[in-house]
Structure 1
Amino acid sequence: MTLQSLPAPRALTAVSADGTPVHVEVYGPEGAPAVVLSHGWTCSIAFWTEQIRALAADHRVIAYDQRGHGRTPAPAATGGAGYSTTALADDLEAVLAATLGPGERAVLAGHSMGGMTIMAAAGRPALRQYAAAVLLCSTGPSRLTAEATVVPLRPGGARSRLTAAVLGAKAPLGPVNAVSKKVLRYATMGPGTAPERVEACARIVHACPRGARYGWSQVLAGLDLEAGLRELRLPVAVLVGTADRLTPPVHSHVMVEALPHCTGLVQLAGMGHMTPVEAPEAVTAQIRELTLTYLGVKSGEQEKEKQA
């Protein structure tokens, strides 16, 4: 699963508030309704390959690399303002301002840390100006290490501390091989995930620089975006896999209750944390439903049926 089979994107750079150059790629026809994709921790634009492939025929799909991932440089050092939810929100604001015109609105989809990015930006002027609706996909607002079930222990302080230590390990991930793929599948994907999808995820995750992986793990360990979640005063759909060990469904239920305008909760049976890769059609369908409802966009197949 690579972007090589897709048309060449229009690449641009959005400059964040602290001067960080954020790498952005735009697919699909100019003037088409817009979708903005924000990926998660240790991932990159490539994580959204199947959504880009499916949507770019009749949407303008805007995807960007979070700082420290893909082609967007990492902050100079961990522990500073460059690694923070404020920085994530700044980057998203910069992307929206650089890619959307006056009066233009988009559907925003965020997976994992990408969903947290949207929550962090909830009160920002750019989000209020440009966002028509949101998909929060396999994510959560707080208590990430307390609720994660990656470590097979009973809930409590010991499990939370061990989870934080595992996810925040500074050791390199090493090569993609049978062992590393087995570990990744256990931690992030459902047991029935196809081998080629596990392979694709492993190559994306292992490509994330160690410094950025560690820096963002520290932010996620202390995450609290409950206030931002309540500030998302626009239509928001929530999606989660029932076998998600990193952001289990308990987070999605919390979000559904807290969101001022939740349009519904979709639970994908047997799917893990990497839902855009594990169940690409289901995630794409949710994005399409939001574009149809809030941007008035029908897919090419729907248009053909209408004309027939």
Structure 2
Amino acid sequence: MSRTGYVTSGRYAPPAARRELVAVSADGARLHVEEHGDEGAPAVVLAHGWTCSTAFWAAQIRELARDHRVIAYDQRGHGRSPAASRYAAEALADDLVAVFGATLAPGEKAVVAGHSMGGMTIMAAAGRPEFAEHAAAALLCSTGSGRLVAESLVLPLRPGRVRTRITGAVLGARAPLGPVTPVAKRVLKYATMGPGSAPDKVEACARIVHACPAGVRYAWSGVLAGLDLDANLATLTVPTAVIGGKNDRLTPIVHARGLAAALPRCVGLTELTGMGHMTPIEAPEAVTAAIRELTVHLANVTDELKETL
């Protein structure tokens, strides 16, 4: 799948990768993977969210690739990863493990950052031995471990069964999103971004989201509606930072606060005033800084290995 439709200039245009490859997941699903930056540099792995793609991380990739090897991949069915026959939280974990295996040497550590469904990917994979082998630290960005539909504020209704049912129907609609029009951008901005989001940020997000196939969007919506990863948080024992937007309607800030309270080694909670759900594009500097702060744990791992030799 080509990148036709994404913005082609500015900080949100997808940068060219140094290397592209395919990672094969446990069930045979094929995942498009990109590597940016120098081959021997410390590694950062980026997992995007529902209806997005590697293009969503354009600003972070450009900045981090100056001194890191940045590995980004398209979740199954998104971007240039073909649609698959299986959509489940366990598949998200399988896919991340497959990306680790395709890009990292045995025992090589990386900082792993996930936005929205990408953060859920990290939580789903946290108990895997491959995650323990390769993850030095993690960033959970604009995400939650469960109750996603019930807590959503996309619809201005009272909390309860009626709001949950209607929200689920809206988010899980089968209909294609259609072309990126001024009306479509206004709807997307209301649902997913802060009120002050600049037009170029809205444009970039709209083009990425509208590029996601309707069938894939629908399939993953069902998985997310029933997601329950609360028990997985106890297994996410690497240093983990949490970041969220105070104006997030999809995963309201209550999720970020709950994650920070439940994580065994939370190393910081950042609440971004005025920002919505699309924080890597809405607040690129803040998200990049949060990832950079975690890279100190890569140096710590290297020092620990030297001490054991």
Supply the AA of the counterpart residue of 1:259.
L
2:60 corresponds, among 45, 51, 54, to 51
Kindly state the Cα deviation for residue 279 of structure 1 after the two structures are TM-superposed: 0.4
Corresponding position of 2:120? 116
Q: What are the Cα deviations for residues 209-240 of structure 1, in whole angstroms up to 9, with x where unaligned?
A: 00000000000000000011221011000000
Corresponding position of 2:305? none
Give matches, 1:246-257, under 5 Å. Answer: 246-257=250-261
SS in 2 for 1:75: coil
C-alpha separation in 1, matches of 2:137 and 2:17: 27
C-alpha separation in 2, matches of 1:102 and 1:210: 37
2:44 corresponds, among 25, 35, 38, to 35
**Unaligned ranges ≥5, structure 1:** 77-81, 298-308
Q: Does 1:197 align with 2:206?
A: no
C-alpha separation in 1, matches of 2:154 and 2:250: 6
Corresponding position of 2:299? 296
Contact 2:49 2:115 in 1 (8 A): yes
1:65 corresponds, among 74, 77, 83, to 74
Over the matched positions of the two proteins, sequence identity in percent amounts to 68
Q: What are the Cα deviations for residues 140-193 of structure 1, in whole angstroms up to 9, with x where unaligned?
A: 000001100001001111001111000000011011010000000000000000
Corresponding position of 2:273? 269
Contact 2:17 2:35 in 1 (8 A): no
Corresponding position of 1:148? 152
SS in 2 for 1:296: helix
Supply the AA of the counterpart residue of 2:220.
W
Give the RMSD, CA atoms, in angstroms. Answer: 1.2
Corresponding position of 2:132? 128
Question: Which moves more between the two structures, 202-211 or 8-17?
Answer: 8-17
Corresponding position of 2:220? 216
SS in 2 for 1:36: strand
Corresponding position of 2:307? none
Q: Does 1:175 align with 2:179?
A: yes
2:243 corresponds, among 236, 239, 243, to 239
Q: What are the Cα deviations for residues 91-144 of structure 1, in whole angstroms up to 9, with x where unaligned?
A: 000001110112210000000000000000011111000000000000000000
Moved over 4 A (4+): 1-5
